[in-house]
Amino acid sequence: MVNLNTQPGRVLSGMRPTGRLHLGHYHGVLKNWVRLQNEYDCFFFVADWHALTTHYETPGVVGEHVWEMIIDWLACGINPKLACLFIQSRVPEHAELHLLLSMITPLGWLERVPTYKDQQEQLRDRDLATYGFLGYPLLQSADVLIYKATEVPVGEDQVAHLELTREIARRFNHLYGVEPDFEEKAQEAARKMGKKNARLYHQLRRRYQQDGDREALEVAHALLDGQPNITVADRERLFGYLDGSSRELLPEPDVLLTPTAKMPGLDGRKMSKSYQNTIGLREPPEEVERKIRTMPTDPARVRRNDPGDPRNCPVWSLHQVYSDEETRAWVEEGCRSAGIGCLECKRHVIAGVEAELAPIRERAQAYEADPEHVRAVLVDGCERAREQARATLSEVRSAMGLEYR
Ligand code: TRP
Ligand code: SF4
């Protein structure tokens, strides 16, 4: 299908409000979002409905974390002037699109999504044999498609959900992409370009469709791009009529794969709430220091004089994130020769983490002190998001035959 998008791409991503954010989120997701907000038209949202699919028995959890999460985002440098920030359930259009897409979603597609069975097994203490949980990836598809996002930054674990999103978009476009009177409308649109251009357009179309002439297609694209007087919808029709692809109502988004978070936790495993090895973004300095001081080290270093090997030590993983080359060389040498003590070694990590967290903590405090401001930012974001969502939904309703009178 022809890509009509000459504007910067649109990015959409969401996060479930099921716990406090930690350094793993910062290094794995938020730093990436901060970078993207300068390059793309970004939409970032709190996926509160998604949280309910697994936390429906403890509804208080969601409300408790929504605002804290947004404060963390803002404190980490997400800028509401650059990115549209909103809350999923405040844009109820997501639910309507989810419903409409459910009409065309084969059950097997959902049952085959790997996270469906995996998560049910991992979260055995919760009953996830629910309709909502099965539909999770379809709700996610609606989140993405309703904004016509071109790029979705997610980690490896979400790639299958994006694959489903693409399949749903393809199926939708296949079923509803052709307007009943598409051909007449395309002819009419061609006439609006003026006699000469219309004739040229039809010639080029014939050359492409009958002789497979790619150059003719390119020339035709340039012709269409250079037409100031036709509407966006007409331009889309003319592109579609040209290559026989009809209209792409819901564009298929691409995955922007976020490199798997390399942020190690306090025990050397990946930092994650479920391992209880996290450092929270707003934890007080004394607490951060205590956590790092009590981190396990190379078990070979029982006494100060025992030499160690950084490769057997989780503190070393944190040096990879927070220390420069020189410090790392000092650690390697000092650890192996027992020239430095572990507390001495950890002091550098403590300082590095603190240097990163101090400004975040400080910015968060300003937002904590002004909850009305945070709420206003979200009211504004939700309204902007709704505008986009409403526009897509109106096209979808019409394509699915629901705008009858
Ligand atoms: N499922 C995502 C996660 O667990 C969160 C999410 C919901 C999302 N909707 C989305 C991410 C749409 C990207 C796009 O992390
Ligand atoms: Fe770990 Fe540093 Fe102690 Fe070596 S000196 S064991 S790297 S904390």
pLDDT tens by residue, 280-301 = 999 999 999 999 999 999 999 9
Instruction: Please report whether residue 222 resides in a domain.
Output: yes
pLDDT tens by residue, 326-384 = 999 999 999 999 999 999 999 999 999 999 999 999 999 999 999 999 999 999 999 99
Confidence at residue 236, expressed as pLDDT on a 0 to 100 scale: 82
Same domain? For 210 and 164 the reply is no
> What distance in angstroms lies between residue 137's CA and the mean position of ligand 1's atoms?
9
Dihedral-angle region of residue 258 (phi above 0 means left; psi in -120 to 50 means alpha; beta otherwise): beta
Could you tell me the sign of the dihedral formed by the alpha carbons of 372, 376, 379, 385, in that order? Answer: negative
Please tell me the distance from the alpha carbon of residue 74 to that of residue 221, in angstroms, as a whole number. Answer: 41
Instruction: Please report whether residue 53 resides in a domain.
Output: yes
Is the CB–ligand 1 distance for residue 16 below 6 Å? yes
Angle at 258 between CA 255 and CA 262, to 5 degrees: 160
pLDDT tens by residue, 84-94 = 999 999 999 99
> What distance in angstroms lies between residue 46's CA and the mean position of ligand 1's atoms?
9
Same domain? For 22 and 125 the reply is yes
CB 110 within 8 A of CB 162: no
Minimal-distance CA residue to ligand 1 atom 9: 140
Same domain? For 96 and 51 the reply is yes
- Return mean pLDDT, the chain: 93
Instruction: Please report whether residue 49 resides in a domain.
Output: yes
Same domain? For 228 and 306 the reply is no
Confidence at residue 261, expressed as pLDDT on a 0 to 100 scale: 60
Same domain? For 81 and 196 the reply is no
Instruction: Please report whether residue 147 resides in a domain.
Output: yes
Confidence at residue 2, expressed as pLDDT on a 0 to 100 scale: 45
Structure tokens that stand for 253 in this block: 């988004």
Minimal-distance CA residue to ligand 2 atom 4: 335
CB 367 within 8 A of CB 301: no
Instruction: Please report whether residue 288 resides in a domain.
Output: yes
Among 33, 154, 273, say which to mutate for ligand 1: greatest number of ligand atoms within 8 Å of CB. Answer: 154
If you average pLDDT over residues 260-273, what whole number do you get?
Answer: 88
Beta bridge partners of 14: 45
Instruction: Please report whether residue 336 resides in a domain.
Output: yes
Same domain? For 335 and 229 the reply is no
Which CATH number goes with the domain that contains 294? 1.10.240.10
Q: For residue 313, what are the domain limits?
A: 282-368
Is the CB–ligand 1 distance for residue 142 below 6 Å? no
Same domain? For 296 and 342 the reply is yes
> What distance in angstroms lies between residue 227's CA and the mean position of ligand 1's atoms?
38
Minimal-distance CA residue to ligand 2 atom 7: 310
Q: Which atom of ligand 2 is nearest to the CA of 295?
A: 8
Instruction: Please report whether residue 378 resides in a domain.
Output: yes
Same domain? For 388 and 321 the reply is no
Residue owning tokens 């410090």: 327
More confident residue, 138 or 260: 138
> What distance in angstroms lies between residue 161's CA and the mean position of ligand 1's atoms?
9
Label residue 23 by pLDDT band (50, 70, 90): very high
Same domain? For 197 and 233 the reply is yes
Angle at 48 between CA 45 and CA 53, to 5 degrees: 135
- List Cβ neighbours of 374 (8 Å cut-off, separation of 6 or more): 67, 70, 71, 74, 367
Confidence at residue 247, expressed as pLDDT on a 0 to 100 scale: 64
H helical segments located in 177-213: 182-191, 195-211
Q: Which atom of ligand 2 is nearest to the CA of 314?
A: 1
Note the ligand closest to the C-alpha atom of 147: 1
Same domain? For 189 and 172 the reply is no
Of 52-66, 83-97, 139-153, the range with the lowest mean pLDDT is 52-66
Same domain? For 213 and 89 the reply is no
More confident residue, 179 or 196: 196
Note the ligand closest to the C-alpha atom of 345: 2
Count structural domains, the chain.
3
Same domain? For 346 and 231 the reply is no
